[in-house]
Structure 1
Amino acid sequence: MSHDADGNDLARVAQADLDAVTRQLGRPARAVLEIAARCPCGCPAVVRTAPRLPAGTPFPTTYYATCPRLTGAISTLESEGVMARMSARLEQDADLAAAYRRAHEAYLADRAELGEVPEIAGVSAGGMPTRVKCLHVLVAHSLAAGPGVNPLGDEALEMLPQWWRGGCCGSDDEGSTR
Protein backbone atom coordinates (compact mmCIF):
# COMPACT_ATOMS: atom_id res chain seq x y z
CA MET A 1 0.00 0.00 0.00
CA SER A 2 1.07 3.53 -0.76
CA HIS A 3 0.69 5.98 2.15
CA ASP A 4 1.42 9.68 2.48
CA ALA A 5 3.23 11.24 5.47
CA ASP A 6 -0.04 11.38 7.43
CA GLY A 7 -0.64 7.65 6.96
CA ASN A 8 -3.45 8.05 4.43
CA ASP A 9 -3.90 5.15 2.00
CA LEU A 10 -3.35 6.81 -1.37
CA ALA A 11 -4.19 3.61 -3.24
CA ARG A 12 -7.74 3.58 -1.82
CA VAL A 13 -8.53 7.24 -1.07
CA ALA A 14 -8.56 9.89 -3.78
CA GLN A 15 -6.54 13.00 -3.08
CA ALA A 16 -9.68 15.10 -3.63
CA ASP A 17 -11.39 13.21 -0.80
CA LEU A 18 -8.39 13.66 1.51
CA ASP A 19 -8.41 17.37 0.68
CA ALA A 20 -12.14 17.53 1.48
CA VAL A 21 -11.62 15.76 4.83
CA THR A 22 -8.75 18.13 5.63
CA ARG A 23 -11.06 21.11 4.96
CA GLN A 24 -13.85 19.53 7.01
CA LEU A 25 -11.60 18.88 10.00
CA GLY A 26 -9.53 22.04 9.73
CA ARG A 27 -6.35 19.94 10.01
CA PRO A 28 -4.60 17.31 7.89
CA ALA A 29 -6.46 14.04 7.54
CA ARG A 30 -4.58 11.26 9.36
CA ALA A 31 -4.57 7.49 8.86
CA VAL A 32 -7.54 7.54 6.45
CA LEU A 33 -7.88 4.14 4.81
CA GLU A 34 -11.16 4.73 3.00
CA ILE A 35 -14.23 6.89 2.79
CA ALA A 36 -16.73 4.78 4.72
CA ALA A 37 -19.82 6.92 4.05
CA ARG A 38 -20.71 10.00 2.05
CA CYS A 39 -23.20 12.78 2.58
CA PRO A 40 -25.98 12.98 -0.01
CA CYS A 41 -24.04 15.90 -1.57
CA GLY A 42 -21.19 13.47 -2.32
CA CYS A 43 -18.63 14.77 0.16
CA PRO A 44 -17.06 12.44 2.73
CA ALA A 45 -19.15 12.05 5.88
CA VAL A 46 -17.29 9.21 7.64
CA VAL A 47 -13.76 7.91 7.21
CA ARG A 48 -12.37 4.53 8.18
CA THR A 49 -9.08 5.02 9.97
CA ALA A 50 -6.11 2.83 10.75
CA PRO A 51 -6.00 1.43 14.29
CA ARG A 52 -2.58 3.02 14.76
CA LEU A 53 -1.67 6.59 13.77
CA PRO A 54 1.53 7.21 11.76
CA ALA A 55 3.54 8.10 14.88
CA GLY A 56 2.52 4.77 16.43
CA THR A 57 -0.24 5.94 18.77
CA PRO A 58 -3.14 3.46 19.04
CA PHE A 59 -6.37 4.90 17.63
CA PRO A 60 -9.52 2.94 18.54
CA THR A 61 -11.94 5.12 16.53
CA THR A 62 -12.23 3.08 13.34
CA TYR A 63 -15.15 5.14 12.00
CA TYR A 64 -14.73 8.89 12.34
CA ALA A 65 -17.39 11.44 11.35
CA THR A 66 -15.84 14.30 9.38
CA CYS A 67 -18.72 16.30 7.88
CA PRO A 68 -19.03 19.50 9.94
CA ARG A 69 -22.78 19.70 9.45
CA LEU A 70 -23.21 16.09 10.55
CA THR A 71 -20.96 16.48 13.59
CA GLY A 72 -22.73 19.70 14.56
CA ALA A 73 -26.12 18.00 14.41
CA ILE A 74 -24.80 15.10 16.51
CA SER A 75 -23.36 17.54 19.05
CA THR A 76 -26.81 19.07 19.41
CA LEU A 77 -28.25 15.64 20.26
CA GLU A 78 -25.49 15.11 22.82
CA SER A 79 -26.25 18.48 24.44
CA GLU A 80 -29.92 17.45 24.76
CA GLY A 81 -29.07 14.49 27.03
CA VAL A 82 -29.63 11.72 24.49
CA MET A 83 -26.53 9.79 25.64
CA ALA A 84 -27.66 9.60 29.27
CA ARG A 85 -31.13 8.40 28.25
CA MET A 86 -29.64 5.75 25.97
CA SER A 87 -27.24 4.57 28.69
CA ALA A 88 -30.13 4.25 31.14
CA ARG A 89 -32.08 2.18 28.63
CA LEU A 90 -29.11 -0.17 28.24
CA GLU A 91 -29.38 -0.96 31.96
CA GLN A 92 -33.11 -1.71 31.71
CA ASP A 93 -33.50 -3.43 28.33
CA ALA A 94 -31.66 -6.74 27.99
CA ASP A 95 -32.46 -7.06 24.27
CA LEU A 96 -31.09 -3.59 23.54
CA ALA A 97 -27.99 -4.33 25.63
CA ALA A 98 -27.42 -7.57 23.70
CA ALA A 99 -27.80 -5.80 20.35
CA TYR A 100 -25.41 -3.07 21.48
CA ARG A 101 -22.88 -5.72 22.55
CA ARG A 102 -23.15 -7.22 19.05
CA ALA A 103 -22.46 -3.73 17.63
CA HIS A 104 -19.35 -3.56 19.82
CA GLU A 105 -18.22 -6.96 18.52
CA ALA A 106 -18.87 -5.89 14.91
CA TYR A 107 -16.81 -2.74 15.49
CA LEU A 108 -13.94 -4.79 16.91
CA ALA A 109 -14.12 -7.20 13.95
CA ASP A 110 -13.98 -4.30 11.49
CA ARG A 111 -10.90 -2.92 13.23
CA ALA A 112 -9.24 -6.35 13.43
CA GLU A 113 -9.41 -6.53 9.63
CA LEU A 114 -6.97 -3.62 9.64
CA GLY A 115 -4.44 -5.18 12.00
CA GLU A 116 -4.04 -6.04 15.64
CA VAL A 117 -3.14 -3.36 18.14
CA PRO A 118 -2.64 -5.00 21.56
CA GLU A 119 -2.97 -1.75 23.49
CA ILE A 120 -6.60 -1.37 22.43
CA ALA A 121 -7.61 -5.03 22.17
CA GLY A 122 -11.24 -5.42 23.25
CA VAL A 123 -11.81 -1.65 23.32
CA SER A 124 -14.17 -0.33 20.69
CA ALA A 125 -15.38 3.27 20.87
CA GLY A 126 -18.28 5.45 21.86
CA GLY A 127 -18.74 3.72 25.21
CA MET A 128 -19.65 0.36 23.71
CA PRO A 129 -20.61 -2.15 24.96
CA THR A 130 -22.02 -0.93 28.29
CA ARG A 131 -22.75 2.79 27.96
CA VAL A 132 -23.14 5.61 25.47
CA LYS A 133 -20.19 7.98 25.66
CA CYS A 134 -20.04 9.46 22.13
CA LEU A 135 -22.89 9.66 19.64
CA HIS A 136 -20.46 10.79 16.94
CA VAL A 137 -18.84 7.34 16.94
CA LEU A 138 -22.17 5.50 17.05
CA VAL A 139 -23.63 7.49 14.15
CA ALA A 140 -20.41 7.10 12.16
CA HIS A 141 -20.55 3.34 12.76
CA SER A 142 -24.18 3.22 11.59
CA LEU A 143 -23.44 5.24 8.46
CA ALA A 144 -20.44 3.05 7.61
CA ALA A 145 -21.92 -0.35 8.48
CA GLY A 146 -25.49 0.30 7.38
CA PRO A 147 -28.74 -0.12 9.26
CA GLY A 148 -29.22 -2.91 11.75
CA VAL A 149 -25.63 -3.17 13.01
CA ASN A 150 -25.57 -0.52 15.75
CA PRO A 151 -29.04 0.00 17.24
CA LEU A 152 -28.21 3.16 19.16
CA GLY A 153 -26.27 4.62 16.24
CA ASP A 154 -29.29 3.92 14.02
CA GLU A 155 -31.57 5.55 16.58
CA ALA A 156 -29.41 8.66 16.83
CA LEU A 157 -29.20 8.86 13.04
CA GLU A 158 -33.00 8.83 12.86
CA MET A 159 -33.12 11.74 15.34
CA LEU A 160 -30.87 13.94 13.20
CA PRO A 161 -32.22 16.63 10.90
CA GLN A 162 -31.24 16.50 7.24
CA TRP A 163 -27.83 18.04 7.88
CA TRP A 164 -26.93 18.11 4.17
CA ARG A 165 -29.79 20.44 3.21
CA GLY A 166 -28.78 23.90 2.10
CA GLY A 167 -25.85 22.97 -0.10
CA CYS A 168 -22.75 20.88 -0.22
CA CYS A 169 -21.09 20.37 3.14
CA GLY A 170 -17.66 20.54 1.50
CA SER A 171 -18.15 23.80 -0.37
CA ASP A 172 -17.72 27.42 0.62
CA ASP A 173 -21.43 27.54 1.48
CA GLU A 174 -22.65 28.30 4.98
CA GLY A 175 -21.89 25.43 7.37
CA SER A 176 -18.55 24.58 5.81
CA THR A 177 -15.24 24.74 7.63
CA ARG A 178 -13.30 25.68 4.52
Structure 2
Amino acid sequence: MTTPPYPAVTDAELAVLRAQLGRPARGVLGIAARCVCGNPTVVATAPRLDDGSPFPTFYYLTHPAATAAMSTLEAEHVMPELAGLLDDADVADAYRAAHTSYLADRAAYGEVDEIAGISAGGMPTRVKCLHALAGHALAAGPGVNPIGDAALARSTWSPSRCVCADPGAARGEAA
Protein backbone atom coordinates (compact mmCIF):
# COMPACT_ATOMS: atom_id res chain seq x y z
CA MET A 1 0.00 0.00 0.00
CA THR A 2 1.21 3.48 -0.86
CA THR A 3 -0.51 6.51 0.57
CA PRO A 4 -0.50 10.01 -0.92
CA PRO A 5 1.70 11.74 -1.91
CA TYR A 6 3.00 9.21 -4.41
CA PRO A 7 6.52 8.99 -5.81
CA ALA A 8 6.89 10.14 -9.41
CA VAL A 9 5.81 7.55 -11.96
CA THR A 10 8.65 6.27 -14.12
CA ASP A 11 8.65 5.81 -17.87
CA ALA A 12 8.95 2.05 -17.28
CA GLU A 13 5.81 2.09 -15.08
CA LEU A 14 3.94 4.08 -17.72
CA ALA A 15 4.98 1.48 -20.31
CA VAL A 16 3.62 -1.32 -18.10
CA LEU A 17 0.38 0.62 -17.61
CA ARG A 18 0.06 1.11 -21.37
CA ALA A 19 0.49 -2.62 -21.89
CA GLN A 20 -2.00 -3.43 -19.13
CA LEU A 21 -4.66 -1.04 -20.40
CA GLY A 22 -4.00 -1.32 -24.13
CA ARG A 23 -3.82 2.47 -24.27
CA PRO A 24 -1.87 5.25 -22.56
CA ALA A 25 -2.85 5.77 -18.93
CA ARG A 26 -4.41 9.17 -18.26
CA GLY A 27 -3.82 11.47 -15.31
CA VAL A 28 -1.53 9.09 -13.41
CA LEU A 29 -0.41 10.61 -10.12
CA GLY A 30 1.27 7.49 -8.79
CA ILE A 31 1.14 3.77 -8.27
CA ALA A 32 -1.29 3.13 -5.41
CA ALA A 33 -0.86 -0.67 -5.24
CA ARG A 34 1.54 -3.13 -6.79
CA CYS A 35 1.70 -6.79 -7.66
CA VAL A 36 4.15 -8.79 -5.56
CA CYS A 37 6.50 -8.60 -8.58
CA GLY A 38 6.40 -4.79 -8.46
CA ASN A 39 4.17 -4.13 -11.47
CA PRO A 40 1.36 -1.60 -11.04
CA THR A 41 -1.98 -3.00 -9.94
CA VAL A 42 -3.81 0.23 -9.06
CA VAL A 43 -3.01 3.80 -10.09
CA ALA A 44 -4.00 6.98 -8.35
CA THR A 45 -5.58 9.20 -10.99
CA ALA A 46 -5.92 12.97 -10.99
CA PRO A 47 -9.40 14.21 -10.11
CA ARG A 48 -9.28 16.37 -13.25
CA LEU A 49 -7.67 14.95 -16.38
CA ASP A 50 -5.39 16.96 -18.66
CA ASP A 51 -8.28 17.58 -21.07
CA GLY A 52 -10.27 19.19 -18.24
CA SER A 53 -12.64 16.26 -17.66
CA PRO A 54 -13.54 15.50 -14.06
CA PHE A 55 -12.50 11.97 -13.09
CA PRO A 56 -13.97 10.60 -9.85
CA THR A 57 -12.22 7.21 -9.96
CA PHE A 58 -9.12 8.13 -7.95
CA TYR A 59 -8.05 4.48 -7.48
CA TYR A 60 -8.12 2.83 -10.91
CA LEU A 61 -7.59 -0.92 -11.16
CA THR A 62 -5.14 -1.65 -14.01
CA HIS A 63 -3.87 -5.20 -13.51
CA PRO A 64 -5.42 -7.33 -16.29
CA ALA A 65 -5.97 -10.42 -14.14
CA ALA A 66 -7.50 -8.37 -11.33
CA THR A 67 -9.83 -6.53 -13.70
CA ALA A 68 -10.81 -9.82 -15.35
CA ALA A 69 -11.56 -11.33 -11.93
CA MET A 70 -13.81 -8.39 -11.00
CA SER A 71 -15.56 -8.60 -14.38
CA THR A 72 -16.18 -12.30 -13.77
CA LEU A 73 -17.73 -11.57 -10.36
CA GLU A 74 -19.96 -8.93 -11.91
CA ALA A 75 -21.00 -11.33 -14.70
CA GLU A 76 -21.77 -13.98 -12.08
CA HIS A 77 -24.11 -11.47 -10.37
CA VAL A 78 -22.16 -11.36 -7.11
CA MET A 79 -22.89 -7.64 -6.66
CA PRO A 80 -26.35 -8.14 -5.09
CA GLU A 81 -24.82 -10.58 -2.60
CA LEU A 82 -22.11 -8.07 -1.70
CA ALA A 83 -24.70 -5.28 -1.49
CA GLY A 84 -26.57 -7.45 1.00
CA LEU A 85 -23.57 -7.15 3.32
CA LEU A 86 -24.58 -3.50 3.78
CA ASP A 87 -27.61 -4.72 5.76
CA ASP A 88 -25.17 -5.26 8.62
CA ALA A 89 -24.82 -1.93 10.46
CA ASP A 90 -21.10 -2.44 11.13
CA VAL A 91 -20.37 -3.17 7.47
CA ALA A 92 -22.48 -0.18 6.38
CA ASP A 93 -20.61 2.08 8.82
CA ALA A 94 -17.25 0.82 7.56
CA TYR A 95 -18.37 1.35 3.94
CA ARG A 96 -19.36 4.94 4.71
CA ALA A 97 -15.97 5.43 6.36
CA ALA A 98 -14.31 3.98 3.23
CA HIS A 99 -16.18 6.56 1.15
CA THR A 100 -14.94 9.36 3.40
CA SER A 101 -11.38 8.02 3.24
CA TYR A 102 -11.54 7.79 -0.56
CA LEU A 103 -12.72 11.40 -0.83
CA ALA A 104 -9.96 12.59 1.50
CA ASP A 105 -7.28 10.78 -0.51
CA ARG A 106 -8.51 12.33 -3.75
CA ALA A 107 -8.91 15.80 -2.19
CA ALA A 108 -5.18 15.80 -1.46
CA TYR A 109 -4.80 16.32 -5.23
CA GLY A 110 -7.45 18.99 -5.66
CA GLU A 111 -11.15 19.58 -5.34
CA VAL A 112 -13.30 19.30 -8.46
CA ASP A 113 -16.78 20.76 -8.01
CA GLU A 114 -18.38 18.46 -10.59
CA ILE A 115 -17.49 15.38 -8.56
CA ALA A 116 -17.73 16.79 -5.03
CA GLY A 117 -18.97 14.11 -2.66
CA ILE A 118 -18.78 11.38 -5.33
CA SER A 119 -16.30 8.60 -4.67
CA ALA A 120 -16.53 5.39 -6.70
CA GLY A 121 -18.12 1.99 -6.93
CA GLY A 122 -21.45 3.11 -5.48
CA MET A 123 -20.07 4.19 -2.12
CA PRO A 124 -21.37 5.05 0.39
CA THR A 125 -24.71 3.25 0.03
CA ARG A 126 -24.64 1.01 -3.07
CA VAL A 127 -22.42 -1.56 -4.76
CA LYS A 128 -22.03 -0.45 -8.36
CA CYS A 129 -18.53 -1.29 -9.64
CA LEU A 130 -16.36 -4.02 -8.18
CA HIS A 131 -13.34 -2.81 -10.15
CA ALA A 132 -13.40 0.53 -8.34
CA LEU A 133 -14.07 -1.05 -4.95
CA ALA A 134 -11.28 -3.61 -5.36
CA GLY A 135 -8.93 -0.86 -6.52
CA HIS A 136 -9.69 1.12 -3.38
CA ALA A 137 -9.30 -1.94 -1.17
CA LEU A 138 -5.91 -2.74 -2.71
CA ALA A 139 -4.67 0.85 -2.45
CA ALA A 140 -5.95 1.49 1.07
CA GLY A 141 -5.09 -1.94 2.44
CA PRO A 142 -7.19 -4.62 4.13
CA GLY A 143 -9.91 -3.49 6.51
CA VAL A 144 -10.63 -0.10 4.92
CA ASN A 145 -13.21 -1.00 2.27
CA PRO A 146 -15.27 -4.01 3.40
CA ILE A 147 -17.01 -4.54 0.06
CA GLY A 148 -13.76 -4.24 -1.90
CA ASP A 149 -12.16 -6.68 0.52
CA ALA A 150 -15.09 -9.10 0.09
CA ALA A 151 -14.86 -8.86 -3.70
CA LEU A 152 -11.15 -9.62 -3.60
CA ALA A 153 -11.76 -12.56 -1.26
CA ARG A 154 -14.38 -13.99 -3.67
CA SER A 155 -12.21 -13.56 -6.76
CA THR A 156 -9.88 -16.04 -8.41
CA TRP A 157 -7.11 -13.42 -8.48
CA SER A 158 -4.89 -12.75 -5.48
CA PRO A 159 -2.62 -9.77 -4.85
CA SER A 160 -0.18 -12.14 -3.14
CA ARG A 161 0.48 -14.26 -6.27
CA CYS A 162 2.06 -12.83 -9.42
CA VAL A 163 0.47 -13.80 -12.73
CA CYS A 164 1.86 -10.88 -14.73
CA ALA A 165 3.81 -13.13 -17.11
CA ASP A 166 0.86 -15.54 -17.55
CA PRO A 167 -1.20 -14.42 -20.59
CA GLY A 168 -4.07 -16.72 -19.61
CA ALA A 169 -4.32 -15.13 -16.18
CA ALA A 170 -4.51 -11.71 -17.81
CA ARG A 171 -7.71 -12.91 -19.50
CA GLY A 172 -9.09 -14.28 -16.22
CA GLU A 173 -8.41 -17.94 -17.02
CA ALA A 174 -7.56 -20.25 -14.14
CA ALA A 175 -3.93 -21.30 -13.88
Cα 1:164–1:100, aligned 2, differ >3 Å: closer, same or farther? Answer: closer
State whether structure 2 residue 143 is matched by structure 1 residue 152.
no
Match of 1:128 among 123, 127, 132: 123
> How many Å apart are 1:172 and its aligned residue?
7.6
Say which of 52, 55, 61 aligns to 1:59.
Answer: 55
Given the two structures, how large is their TM-score scaled by the length of structure 2?
0.87
Counterpart of 1:13, as a letter, is V
Q: Counterparts of 1:163 and 1:34 in 2: how far apart (Å)?
A: 21
TM-score (norm 1): 0.85
How far 1:88 moved relative to its partner? 2.8
How much does 1:174 deviate? 3.9
Compared CA separation, residues 116 and 47, structure 1 to 2 (3 A): same
In the alignment, the residues of structure 2 paired with residue 107 and residue 172 of structure 1 have an alpha-carbon distance, to the nearest angstrom, of 31
Q: Deviations over 1:66-120 (max 9, x none)?
A: 0111100111111122211122332x22221111100000000001001010110
Alpha-carbon RMSD = 2.0
Q: Tell me what 2:73 maps to.
A: 77
- How far does the alpha carbon of each residue in 1:10-30 deviate from its partner, in whole angstroms, 9 at most, with x for none? x70011000100110001111
* Structure 1 unaligned residues grouped into runs of 5+: 1-10
Number of aligned positions between the proteins:
165
Range moving further from structure 2, 58-67 or 39-48? 39-48
1:26 paired to 2:22: yes
Q: Are positions 1:94 and 2:92 aligned together?
A: no
Contact 1:58-1:117 within 8 A present in 2 as well: yes
Q: Deviations over 1:110-165 (max 9, x none)?
A: 01001010110000000000100001011110110101110111111112224579
1:68 corresponding residue in structure 2: 64
Q: Using the alignment, how far apart are the partners of 1:151 and 1:176 within structure 2?
A: 25
- State which drifts further: 16-25 or 153-162: 153-162
Shift of the 130–164 alpha-carbon distance from structure 1 to 2, 3 Å rule, reads closer
Q: Which runs of 4+ in 1 moved over 3 A?
A: 162-168, 171-177
Tell me, in whole angstroms, the C-alpha distance in 1 between the residues paired with 2:166 and 2:65. Answer: 13
1:113 — aligned with what? 108
Instruction: Tell me which structure has the larger Cα radius of gyration.
Output: 1
CA contact (8 A) 2:36 2:161 kept: no
- Percent of aligned positions with the same letter in both sequences? 59
Q: Distance in 1 between matches of 2:48 and 2:166?
A: 32
Q: Which residue in the other structure is 2:44 paired with?
A: 48
Q: Which amino acid is the alignment partner of residue 134 of structure 1?
A: C
